[in-house]
Amino acid sequence: MRTFEVWAPLPESVRLHIDGTEHPMVRDSHGWWRTEVDASPGDRYGFVVDGSGTDDETVLPDPRSPRQPDGVHGLSQLHELDPAVWTDSAWTGRQLPGSVVYELHIGTFTAAGTLDAAIEHLDELVDLGVGFVELMPVNAFNGTHGWGYDGVLWYAVHEPYGGPDALQRFVDAAHARGLGVVLDVVYNHLGPSGNYLGRFGPYLTGGAGTWGETVNLDGPGSAEVRRYIIDNALRWFRDFHIDALRLDAVHALVDHTATHVLEDLSTETFRLSVHLGRPLTLIAESDLNDPRLITPRSAGGYGLHAQWDDDIHHAVHAAVSGERQGYYGDFGSLECLARTLQHGFFHAGTYSSFRGRVHGRPLDVRRTPASSLLAYTCTHDQVGNRARGDRPGRYLDHGQLAVRAALVLTSPYTPMLFMGEEWGATTPFRYFTSHPERDLAAAVVDGRRREFAEHGWDTGDVPDPQDPETFRGSVLNRAERTEPEHARLLACYRDLLALRRSRAELTDPWLENLQVDYDEDERWIVVHRGRIRVACNLGAEPITVPVGGVPLMWWDEPVVNRTRSAALIPGHSFAVLDGDVDHHDR
C-alpha cells in the first residue's frame, strides 16, 4: 500500500485518479488530503478537485509530481531514483570560495540537448579548470524547449532533457570528475501554462509581480506555500545530490514576515548539510545590491552563501565595449571599473540614472569576503536579453575578450563563465520558447519587443522566440573550438584558471588587499593582487604602463623595460606580471 497526499485547502472534495480508477481522499484539519492505495513505481496518477469555483473535473497533476512523462498537462508518474546508480559515496562536496562556476543550458549546450549528451563534455570542463557546473532550470515546463524559467511543476525534471534519471546520471558523472553541480531554481513565480496550483490552494496572491502573480509567502495559508518551496530545495540536495542552488530573482520574493523565507531556507539547508556531511550552498540572484542576503544569520542577515553581482559585469562590459545604453548608462569609465572591483558594488547607496533613484547599500569589505559575490562577463541574461542574443564574440575582438577574462578570472570574486565564452563562441544565445498556445506565444513576442524598446534597443530585427530556428540557432557550434583564434582564446582561459589555482594571491577573498591604478585618458588599468599585477590596455593602440615585474602570461607579449618599472602593453591586451616589490612600497 502507498499513501497519496496533497495539500488542497480550497476544494470541498479531492479524489485520487490512478490507472483509470478514482479513490476518495480524506482531509485533515490542515488541508491535507490522504488515501492509501495499492500502487507501484511507474503508475500514472492525478487528482480531481471539486467545489473550488469550477465544474471542471479534469485530472490534475500532483503539485509535487516526481515525474511528468507526458508533459505538464498530463498525469504524474510514481518514480523513485535507483540507489544503485550512485557511485559518489566518497564525494565530500566542494566549497564555493576558491572555485570557478560554469553556467550552461542543457538544451543548447549540445546538439542533442540532453543531460546524457552533456555528460560527454564534462571532461572538457575539468580540463578548462572549473569547479562547478551550473544548470539553468531543469524543472518541468510546457513545450519542448525554453530557458526553463516558465516551470510549473518544480519537483519534476523536464522530460526532453531526459527526466529525473538523466539528472541523477549527470550529477553522478560530475562528482566522479570532481565537479560540483549548481541547479538554477525559480521560486518567485510560475509559468503561464500548466500552472494548476491555484486549484489546490492559495499558492499565489492577486498582486502583480515582475512576471505575473506573486507567490504567497506571507498571506493566509502561506505556511504550506513556504514549505512547498523549502521541501523542493531540500529534495534537490538530498535526493539528487545537488551541491548548490542558484535562487532566481530573489528580489521578487515578496515576504513581509519577521523571518524571510530565504532565512528559513538558509536554516534548513544548514541543518541538512550537517546531516549529509558536505557543503550545501545557496546562491542568490538579486538586483538589490543588498549585502543582507550574504550576511550571516548571527549578524542579522539571511545567511545565504553568495549572490550574483551584475555591477561587476556592467563595469567590465561597458569599459571594454563602450556600450552605454539602458542600464549601462552609469558605467563605462575606468574610475567606475576600479571602484567596482575594489568595493564589490558600484551602486551602494548611490544614484542610479537607469532607476531614477538611489540604489544599493555598501558592502562591508572587512567582514564580507569577495568570494561571496559571483563575477562574470557573460550570463544567460546578459547575452540572451540583448535584442538579438548576440554574444561578445560577435562584436568584440579576441583581445577585448581576453581583457575581460583577465579582469574577472584574476579578481578576488568567485568567477563564473557562460558556456562557449571560453572560446569566444559566435553562435547567439537568444530567448526562445515553444508555447503551444497561440495567444500566449503572441503575448511573449510583444512583451519582449516592448521591453527592448524601454532599454533603448532597436526592435526591428528581434528574433521571434517561437520560431524553431531561434532555438536551433542558439546551439553551440563546437567546431569553433579548434579554429586558430578561438583555440588561442581557449588556451588563454585555461592558462588564467591554472594561474588562479597556483597563486594564492589570486584567490585571496579580502578586498582590503586589492589595489587598483588606472589612467582614464590612456585607457589602462592595473589590478594589484599581492605580488601579482594584472595590467590591461583597453585602448586599441600600444601604451606604456607604469608597472613592473616578470611577465607570467599575456595576450600579446608586453615589453618590460630593464628596470622593470614600466611595460609596453599592446592594444586590446593584458599582461600578468610577478612584481619585485609590494605595491605599498612603490
* Residue-range domain boundaries for the chain: 2-60, 103-308, 515-585
Question: Quick one: pLDDT at residue 488?
Answer: 98
How far is it, in rounded angstroms, from Cα 450 to Cα 36?
A: 51
Q: Mean of the per-residue pLDDT values for the chain?
A: 94
> Torsion over CA of 540, 546, 547 and 548, rounded to 10 degrees?
120
- Go through the chain and tell me how many residues it has: 586
Per-residue model confidence as pLDDT tens digits over 346-372: 999 999 999 999 999 999 999 999 999
How far is it, in rounded angstroms, from Cα 489 to Cα 219?
A: 52
Question: Quick one: pLDDT at residue 453?
Answer: 63
Question: Quick one: pLDDT at residue 580?
Answer: 63
Strands (DSSP E) contained in 54-169 are 76-77, 101-104, 132-135, 139-140, 153-157
Class of the CATH-defined domain 2-60: mainly beta
Question: Quick one: pLDDT at residue 64?
Answer: 98
Strands (DSSP E) contained in 160-212 are 180-185, 204-208
C-alpha closest to that of 501 among 204, 93, 129:
129
- The three cell numbers of residue 503 are 597563486
For residue 340, give every residue at least 6 positions away whose Cβ sits within 8 Å of its Cβ, in sequence order, or none: 311, 312, 315, 346
In this chain, the answer to whether the domains covering 103-308 and 515-585 adopt an identical fold is no
For cell 566518497, what's the residue?
90
Among 3.40.50.1100, 3.40.50.280, 2.60.40.1180, 1.10.510.10, name the CATH number for the domain at 515-585: 2.60.40.1180
Position 454 confidence tier, pLDDT thresholds 50, 70, 90: low
Is residue 152 within 8 Å of 166, Cβ to Cβ? no
Helix axis angle for 310-321 and 334-343, nearest 10°, is: 160
Position 53 confidence tier, pLDDT thresholds 50, 70, 90: very low
Question: Quick one: pLDDT at residue 46?
Answer: 97
Question: Looking at residues 51-63, what average pLDDT do you find?
Answer: 72
For residue 195, give every residue at least 6 positions away whose Cβ sits within 8 Å of its Cβ, in sequence order, or none: 152
Per-residue model confidence as pLDDT tens digits over 304-346: 999 999 999 999 999 999 999 889 999 999 999 999 999 999 9
C-alpha closest to that of 248 among 386, 390, 150, 343:
150
Question: Quick one: pLDDT at residue 564?
Answer: 85
pTM over 0.85: yes
Position 457 confidence tier, pLDDT thresholds 50, 70, 90: low
How far is it, in rounded angstroms, from Cα 18 to Cα 563?
A: 81
- How wide is the angle at C-alpha 374 spanned by C-alphas 124 and 215, nearest 5°? 110
How far is it, in rounded angstroms, from Cα 150 to Cα 211?
A: 10
Position 294 confidence tier, pLDDT thresholds 50, 70, 90: very high
Give yes or no: 285 in active site. yes
Determine if residue 31 is left, alpha or beta; phi over 0 gives left, psi from -120 to 50 gives alpha, anything else beta. Answer: left
Question: Looking at residues 485-506, what average pLDDT do you find?
Answer: 98
How far is it, in rounded angstroms, from Cα 572 to Cα 578?
A: 21
Is residue 242 within 8 Å of 183, Cβ to Cβ? yes
- At residue 423, the 3 state secondary structure works out as helix
Per-residue model confidence as pLDDT tens digits over 191-206: 888 999 999 999 998 7
Question: Quick one: pLDDT at residue 441?
Answer: 74
Per-residue model confidence as pLDDT tens digits over 253-283: 999 999 999 999 999 999 999 999 999 999 9
- At residue 70, the 3 state secondary structure works out as coil
Strands 132-135 and 180-185: parallel
Question: Quick one: pLDDT at residue 211?
Answer: 59
Position 103 confidence tier, pLDDT thresholds 50, 70, 90: very high
Is residue 329 within 8 Å of 459, Cβ to Cβ? no
How far is it, in rounded angstroms, from Cα 71 to Cα 143?
A: 8
C-alpha closest to that of 104 among 455, 505, 418:
418
Burial class (CB in 10 A: 0-12, 13-18, 19+), 392: buried
More confident residue, 456 or 178: 178
Kindly calculate the radius of gyration of the chain based on its CA atoms and give it in whole angstroms.
25
Question: Quick one: pLDDT at residue 54?
Answer: 47
Per-residue model confidence as pLDDT tens digits over 76-85: 999 999 999 9
Q: Give just the sign of the alpha carbon dihedral 488, 399, 374, 324.
A: negative
Position 56 confidence tier, pLDDT thresholds 50, 70, 90: low
Would the pLDDT of 586 be above 60? Answer: no
Is residue 212 within 8 Å of 206, Cβ to Cβ? no
Strands (DSSP E) contained in 97-179 are 101-104, 132-135, 139-140, 153-157
Catalytic residue among 103, 184, 248, 421: 248
Strand 559-560's sheet: what is its strand order? 543-545, 567-569, 559-560
Catalytic residue among 150, 218, 285, 381: 285
Question: Quick one: pLDDT at residue 52?
Answer: 43
Per-residue model confidence as pLDDT tens digits over 138-150: 999 999 999 999 9
* CATH architecture observed for domain 103-308: Alpha-Beta Barrel (3.20)
Strands 21-24 and 13-18: antiparallel
Question: Looking at residues 373-392, what average pLDDT do you find?
Answer: 95
